[in-house]
Homo-oligomer: A and B are copies of this chain.
């Protein structure tokens, strides 16, 4: 790998399929077959995404008969949140508040 923990965490989060997998796992452990259902892609592809999440430390795998249940491990997110929080002042400074508010409104219009 050769790349630092924080980079692996952000890279893992950069894919919407993987974020959706984490969201599912937030409701509890699940096996690959269960996790793959919402996605229009092969089990093998989901298995690969789980491997990426595992390498980022965001999920751990177990064994239950034929199943390899995945479970969420959110700890790496703490460092990611800490990194981002260092920039909070740059979006929450009072002189930015109006800009932020307007941007929020604009974003909502786009949807």
Contacts and interface: CB of A to CB of B under 8 A. Distances in A.
Interface of A: 3-4, 6-7, 10-11, 13-16, 19, 22, 26, 60, 72-75, 77-78, 80-81, 83-88, 90-91, 99-100, 103
Count of chain copies: 2
Given A26-B87, A74-B87, A75-B100, 8 more contacts: A10-B11, A26-B86, A72-B87, A73-B103, A74-B88, A77-B84, A81-B81, A81-B84
A90 to B, nearest CB: 4
A95 to B, nearest CB: 13
Contacts of A4: 16
Given A75-B103, A100-B75, A103-B73, A88 B84 contact: no
